[in-house]
Structure 1
Amino acid sequence: MPSPILPASPTSRPRPRGIVRRLVGWTLRALLGFVLISILMVVLYRFVPPPVTLTMLGDAIEGHGIDKSWRSMDDIDPNMARAAIAGEDSRFCTHHGFDLKAIEKAYTRNAKGGRIRGGSTISQQTAKNVFLIQGGGYVRKAFEAYFTVLIETIWGKRRIMEVYLNVAETGIGTYGVEAGAQRYFGHDAGQLSPQEAGRIAAILPLPKKRAAVAPSGFTRRHGNAITRTVRVVRNGGLDGCLR
């Protein structure tokens, strides 16, 4: 007699709950791993200069090379940090990574059309420059916010400014104010005048399209405005967290 066909064992059937449970487990482990690695990187860069960034690697792949030279805050003229505050983030020393007023103003301006302006703080720009890519939309913005909280908590303001001034793009294939000062003015970043610092700060938003030597148009006007504001930053104590 032919053997009767037995029903499939319950254990041989897929269990949706088991699959979901495994997926949740993998997701949680990946998330925990990312958090641990990111915290370790931020702690490491609190003491060690970031060796390279994704933006630098992109320039290298495109054949522009990487021109950079690390300088400590003590070796960078204070006018440069003041110019960065004047041009990029006037409330740098008082916010905790995010300037809600600047974000609101940027949103209002952008809604009216014209040249798009951002409301990112120096802390946000540093987080993006060191750990992330330049594009990426809202997904990158979410990671940027996460890393901003980490560096504000672990690094503090002086280290954030120090890293920013060393990794910010100051020209095609040029990174940091030391390389920028050498490229545009032929001397190191420890000897920057208020005008030179203002010119470097003026090119930071669009370093591939602007130059600090013989600037014209908006770049020249913006640089001159920053130069005038450097004294305001100093006298008003807006750079107090860096002293």
Structure 2
Amino acid sequence: MVKKIFYFVTKLFLIYTAFVIFLLLFFRFIHPPVTAFMQSESNSLTGLFDLNDINYKPVPIKKISKFAPLAAIASEDQMFFEHFGFDFEQIEKAMKENKHRKRIRGASTISMQVAKNLFLFNSKIFIRKGFEAYYTLLLELLWSKERILETYLNIAEMGENIYGIEAASKIYFKKPSSKLTAEQSAAIIACLPNPKKRDPRRATNYLTNRKLHIIEQMNLIGGVSILNNHINY
């Protein structure tokens, strides 16, 4: 009986993995029309999902200002080009700090955030971290760093029903993302991870300081030159 259950679970896992691999290979070349996170957020607000409810316009990374991916890396994941989906140093540091803090510090890499946004609904259950690691590993195996970064910039939540740098740029600064300056890119990224509560056009003390910190980090990690070896502009 135990062997039959084990065989069934293993077979189910392999079938599901094959399905996920198929999806990832497809999305390696085609922008996803919607993500699980978009769907869950829209449903939580309206009870129904409608693509018309969201502002989402994916664009190739070549049509995004270099300052946007640089700001994302400087703020969210400075070891992005070095790790294989998991920054264990930051994870360990976060675990130590969270023992003594009321406000939990996250250590999700850009790859982990893409995996979460693509496949997982917005919930806090513990098992979700396991699925997030599973999807992250497959992402790193099947996608290039350029594609992961491109997808992150296109699907990340950047405001109420606003997804991706292109939609955010047009709504907040009335211009395509290809025209974003370093300061504007940093201002948008500074709103993460709570974009619904923050607006890059409103210069609160917190956002101003965070934006300046991101700009400082953008310079410290080498500026846009760090992208040249990894992104085919």
Q: Could you tell me the TM-score, scaled by structure 1's length?
A: 0.87
In structure 1, C-alpha distance between the alignment counterparts of 2:231 and 2:80, rounded to whole Å: 10
Q: CA offset at residue 57 of structure 1? A: 1.3
Task: Mark the CA change 1:206 to 1:90 in structure 2 (over 3 Å): closer, same or farther.
Answer: same
Bigger shift: 130-139 or 188-197? 130-139
- Between the two proteins, the alignment pairs up a number of residues equal to 225
CA contact under 8 A between 1:66 and 1:173: conserved in structure 2?
yes
Answer with 61-70 or 48-57: which moved more.
Answer: 61-70
From 33, 45, 49, the equivalent of 2:27 is 45
In the alignment, the residues of structure 2 paired with residue 176 and residue 25 of structure 1 have an alpha-carbon distance, to the nearest angstrom, of 41
Superposition RMSD in Å:
1.8
1:146 to 115, 134, 145: 134
For 2:224 and 2:161, locate their aligned partners in 1 and report how far apart those are by CA, in whole Å: 35
What is the CA–CA distance in structure 2 between the aligned matches of 1:94 and 1:24, rounded to whole Å?
A: 37
Corresponding residue of 2:231: 242
Q: Deviations over 1:137-183 (max 9, x none)?
A: 33111111111111111111000000000000000100000011111
Q: Give distance in 2, aligned partners of 1:177 and 1:236.
A: 17
Is 1:32–2:10 an aligned residue pair?
no
In structure 2, give the amino acid aligned to 1:180. A
Partner AA of 1:233 in structure 2 = I
Q: Which has the larger radius of gyration?
A: 1
Distance 1:114 1:228, change over 3 A: same
Runs of 4 or more, structure 1, over 6 Å off, are none
- Matches of residues 157-176 of structure 1 in structure 2 within 5 Å? 157-176=145-164
Deviations 1:13-63 (A, max 9, x none): xxxx4xx44433432221121111111111111111111112211233223
SS state at 1:170 partner: strand
Distance in 2, matches of 1:236 and 1:58, equals 34
1:209 is displaced (CA, Å) by: 1.3
Report the equivalent of 2:169: 181
1:91 aligns with 2:49: no
| Identical columns (%) | 35
Which secondary structure does the structure 1 equivalent of 2:132 belong to? Answer: helix
Query: Which residue in the other structure is 2:49 paired with?
Result: none
Q: Is the 8 Å Cα contact of residues 66 and 224 (structure 2) preserved in structure 1?
A: no
State TM-score, norm by structure 2.
0.90
Q: Aligned AA for 1:206? A: N
What's the offset of the Cα at 1:237? 4.8
What amino acid is the match of 2:103? R
Q: Could you tell me which residue of structure 2 aligns to residue 192 of structure 1? A: 180
Residue aligned with 1:49, SS? coil
The worse-fitting range, judged by mean Cα deviation, of 70-79 and 50-59 is 50-59
* Conservation of the 8 A alpha-carbon contact between 1:82 and 1:233: no
Partner deviation per Cα, 1:192-242 (whole Å, 9 max, x = no partner): 111100011111211111111123132221111112222233448543423
Query: Which 10-residue stretch deviates more, 96-105 or 20-29?
Result: 20-29
